[in-house]
Amino acid sequence: MPGPKLFTLTSSFVNNIPGNSNFTNVNLSPILTFHFSNAIDHGSVGNAFSLTDHEGSSVSYSTSFENHDSSVVIRPSASLKPLTAYLLKASTGLQSQDSAHLKTAINLNFTTSIDSSDKFPRISDSALLTLVEQQTFKYFWDFGHPVSGLARERMSSNDVVTTGGTGFGVMAILVGAQRNFITRVQALSRITTIVNFYANNVTPYHGAFPHWINGATGATIPFSSQDDGGDLVETAYLMQGLLTARQYFSSTTDADEINLRNRINILWKQVDWNWYRQNGQNTLCWHWSPNFNWSTNQQINGWNEAMITYVLAASSPTDSVSKIVYDNGWANNGNMRNGNSFFGIPLPLGPDYGGPLFFSHYSFLGINPNGLSDAYANYWTQDTAHARINYLYCVNNPGHFAGYSNSCWGLTASDEQNGYDAHSPTNDKGVITPTAAISSLPYTPQESMSALRFFYYKLGDKIWGQYGFIDAFNLTNVWYDSDFLAIDQGPQIIMIENYRSSLLWNLFMSCPEIKSGMKKLGFQSPYL
């Protein structure tokens, strides 16, 4: 017996643009056109076609026919929702006028464009920068742990606080005092609480503190199965913040400021940097555990986010490392150089396309890259190249992700839908992370300010919250994070302030030990 008669879809269009399944940036009143090999039975269309949004809710539509009924045109009955994923389906129940059935079901996915109207009233760029600083500051002030004052890892962390994020938080609190979000006395009190908690409640492992801590008790919380001891990089971020605070609270007559400086110096001097050379190797190691010793065996090699660790290790007044440790361990005897060009921009150091943007943020919250160079790079050139390459990659958008533009860019480590990853041009999943562009403001002021305006005015109803911008979003899969992370909120307020006043750069680079240590490593800078 002959099989059932079948007909086929020959082509499909969204707003006269051909395609098979996925469309992005579709306007809110699209015209969906399907061309078939046979004339369509009008009566079968209503049961065969369906249009739903990403939650599965049905969307009403009208139907018309063209080309002697071989083309079906679908128009939503009302404007669709912006930045929403939709699915139009046609089942094999669709029939032709000669009683044939559609051979293969149709699934056409499309995502609508943004609502380009402003979500908040326009204010001056200066006022907008202040607003972002003030709102982001609240993460560390309002949401700081109520017992210890330390920075929680993220919104859902409860008692889990983070050492590196606390270092960023200390610097954010200094910005808060400088911008009069709080008083100097309030800032002094909170930072004193933080320092005293580390001194009295947290176990140091050869002077280094753990990545995660219980903010109520000070107990070490393992970051991973064998990382339950000292984390030298997290400790470096903390010391970067504490030394900056020490320089800020510089009164020679105020007893509380003098006491804070003394307590900070005790923590700073107790870090046993040479212990973390793992038995005298000419490199620093990231972790040591009292239970697993050096089992993670993770050397701190460049180029990445950890240059501050070597700068502090060389600057220690009690246990400094020598230049050979920097040259061999961090610079890998020059092998951290890149030297290739991307989008016409030479990149001195690091992986191709620069890697995630936090590489150019974390160490440079305190270290001022302006005019900074050593045997391996000019660091202003490095950081600006990294940021511009990241920007140009997003503008070029080789992955064809929705939303990427000269006003919507920035790839770095952050949350993603159902996880966390280090996003970069070589690991692009369509996830834009606001901290990437915003924290690059000193390096790419026009591009970063354009992104900040876009995030606030155009996407503010989706991504602006009680502690500033949410961690990340994806306009291709239409996902908005509901979380904020200390290590992403901190660089935003700090680098905005460095762009505006160089406050944190000036404070950190004023440390006598830092001047001495950086000179020892061969750095040149107007500060040295």
**Same domain, residue pair 269 and 199:** yes
300 and 431 share one domain: yes
What is the pLDDT, as a whole number, of residue 2?
64
Name residue, tokens 């991504």: 463
Alpha helical stretches, state H, 179-225: 184-201
Quote the pLDDT of residue 288. 98
The CATH number given to whatever domain includes residue 46 is 2.60.40.3710
Residue 225 and residue 97 share a domain:
no
Whether residue 129 sits in one domain with residue 104? no
Q: Is residue 1 domain-resident? A: no
pLDDT for 22 equals 77
Asked if residue 203 belongs to a domain, the reply is yes
Contacts 24+ apart (CB under 8 A), 310-313: 310/284, 310/521, 311/363, 311/367, 311/514, 311/517, 311/518, 311/521, 312/236, 312/239, 312/240, 312/271, 312/273, 312/514, 312/517, 313/273, 313/276, 313/284, 313/517
Task: Identify the domain boundary among 86, 112, 138.
Answer: 112
What gap in Å lies between CA 171 and CA 166, rounded to an integer? 9
Is residue 525, in this structure, part of any structural domain at all?
no
Q: Final residue of a domain: which of 112, 142, 164?
A: 112
What's the pLDDT at 281? Answer: 97
Q: What is the CATH number of the domain that holds 185?
A: 1.50.10.140
Query: Does 295 fall in a domain?
Result: yes
Domain count, the chain: 2
State the pLDDT at residue 3: 65
Print the domain residue range for 191.
125-520
In a domain, 117, yes or no: no
In a domain, 245, yes or no: yes
107 and 153 share one domain: no
> Is residue 120, in this structure, part of any structural domain at all?
no
Same domain, 247 and 329: yes
Cα separation of 396 and 123, whole Å?
A: 30
pLDDT score of 207 = 98
Residue 150 and residue 68 share a domain? no
In a domain, 527, yes or no: no
Looking at residue 474, its pLDDT comes to 95
Last residue of a domain, one of 112, 133, 158: 112
Residues sharing a CB contact under 8 Å with residue 410, sequence separation 6 or more, in sequence order = 357, 390, 391, 394, 432, 433, 434, 435, 436, 437, 438, 440, 451
Residue segments in the chain with a per-residue pLDDT below the cut of 50: none
Do 209 and 338 belong together in one domain?
yes
Same-domain status, 193 and 313: yes
Q: Are residues 239 and 360 located together in one domain of the fold?
A: yes
91 with 240, same domain?
Answer: no
DSSP string, 214-260: ETTT--EE-SBTTB-SEEHHHHHHHHHHHHHHHHHS--SS-HHHHHH
Is 179 found in the same domain as 46? no
